[in-house]
């Protein structure tokens, strides 16, 4: 299969999970989604990641984002692992973990990189919009845990820029000024962005975040 790219439709699939059979597109419905893979169950970094995901669920809920994890192990293994996650991370896993023993989903999403490992998934992250298009792809090596604050920051940027003609600058966080789209003339921008437009260069104009 060809490598997935930004803007592609997220391939749909039906698979068993820790909460029962799950169809990706049906499960997401009108929500945003984050699909993220783990090399295997009962691994230390993954245990901290899934615990962190559970703790961050209220923040993802505020943003209408559903989290879906995936590992190449089976449902029963997932359920036993969840007990460990809940115990060691002082939380309750509150999202599905897909069982991908046949590697179907891993192959569909190109989560197995043979030069890293022939059978285990790398730490892939796919952010999926409500129209089921892929908006972000991140790939971490198995040894590096993910930053879930960064995933929240990216979701904030994606949701802001989906509805306003702006982009977010380096290190942007919720509440910071944003960049006016280069496609908008400065005079038009001043009419659109009534909080003000600061022209640093003709191609670099800043405005306060418009949805606050």
Q: Active-site residues: which are they?
A: 46
In angstroms, rounded to a whole number, what is the distance separating the alpha carbons of residues 69 and 23? 13
Cβ–Cβ under 8 Å, residues 193 and 167: no
In angstroms, rounded to a whole number, what is the distance separating the alpha carbons of residues 165 and 41? 42
- 36 phi and psi angles, rounded to 5 deg: -140, 135
Residue 33: CB atoms within 10 Å: 24
The partner residues of 140 in beta bridges, in order of sequence, read 123
| HEC per residue, 86-108 | HHHHCCCCCCCEEECCCCHHHHH
2 alpha-carbon distance from chain centroid: 21
Run of H or E residues at 186: helix 186-192
In angstroms, rounded to a whole number, what is the distance separating the alpha carbons of residues 74 and 79? 9
């Amino acid at each position: 299969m060809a490598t997935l790219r930004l803007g592609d439709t997220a391939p749909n699939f039906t698979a068993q999970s820790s909460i029962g059979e799950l169809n990706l597109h049906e499960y997401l419905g009108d929500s945003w989604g984050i699909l993220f893979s783990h090399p295997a169950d009962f691994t230390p970094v993954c245990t901290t990641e899934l615990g962190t995901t559970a703790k961050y669920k209220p923040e993802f809920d505020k943003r209408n984002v559903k989290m879906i994890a995936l590992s190449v192990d089976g449902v029963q293994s997932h359920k036993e692992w969840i007990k460990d996650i809940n115990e060691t991370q002082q939380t309750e896993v509150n999202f599905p973990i897909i069982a991908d023993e046949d590697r179907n989903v891993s192959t569909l999403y190109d989560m197995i990189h043979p030069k890293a490992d022939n059978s285990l998934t790398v730490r892939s992250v796919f952010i999926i919009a409500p129209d089921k298009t892929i908006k972000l792809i991140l790939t971490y090596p198995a040894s590096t845990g993910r930053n879930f604050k960064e995933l929240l920051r990216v979701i904030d940027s994606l949701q802001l820029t989906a509805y306003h003609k702006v982009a977010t600058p380096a290190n942007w966080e919720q509440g910071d000024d944003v960049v006016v789209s280069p496609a908008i003339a400065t005079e038009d921008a001043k009419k659109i962005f009534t909080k003000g437009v600061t022209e640093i260069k003709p191609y670099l104009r800043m405005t306060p975040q418009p949805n606050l």
